[in-house]
Amino acid sequence: VYDPQVIRWRLAGADRPHQLRSLTVLRSAVEPIAAGLAAGHATAEQCAELTECALGMVANSRGHRLEGYLFHDVAFHRVILTASGNEMFARLGEVVAEVLTGRTEHEVMFEDPDPAAVTLHVQVAEAVREGDAVRAEALTREITVGALQELDVLAP
């Protein structure tokens, strides 16, 4: 079920809402912890990359530029998972990439991303750079809770 091809196949099928919800719940369980760990383990280069990704998300967050937004969003979450220092979390980068890509390709995304979610990504990058694990975890939890709430609207 973690194979990117299987995820893509399932997202293309009739059970898309269930698959999206299942993957988003997985993200909700893992990514906040990963962000907290990243605040203690991220290198200067990873912090710079997170900031660059967050700013790329900001730059592509208006004007129906979802492809550009997706590129930076996927990269952001991969960095968080890798910077956690946990090899198991790092291996979930492809899973998260597939769910984010699937949401965009199957139009289970608003035409422009939620501005509050974009701001949260910037704040997560700041918290990781500052080494504030509690804040990084809490902000990432807000992101994943927001993603679940979007599914309630877009893929009930």
| pTM of the entire predicted model | 0.93
Q: List the structure tokens of 81.
A: 């998972």
pLDDT at residue 29 tops 90? yes
What are the boundaries of each domain within the chain? 4-154
Average pLDDT over residues 6-10: 93
* Each residue's pLDDT tens digit, 119-134: 999 999 999 999 999 9
Percent of the chain at pLDDT > 90 equals: 81
Quick one: pLDDT at residue 153?
A: 79
Average pLDDT over residues 77-101: 96
Quick one: pLDDT at residue 109?
A: 76
pLDDT at residue 103 tops 80? yes
Q: Give the angle 148-107-77 at the CA atoms, nearest 5°.
A: 55
Quick one: pLDDT at residue 87?
A: 97
Query: Residue 2's CB: how many other CB atoms inside 10 A?
Result: 12
Average pLDDT over residues 78-83: 98
Query: Spelled out in words, what is the top-level CATH class assigned to the domain 4-154?
Result: mainly alpha
Average pLDDT over residues 79-90: 98
Quick one: pLDDT at residue 118?
A: 96
Quick one: pLDDT at residue 97?
A: 95
Quick one: pLDDT at residue 50?
A: 98
Quick one: pLDDT at residue 6?
A: 94
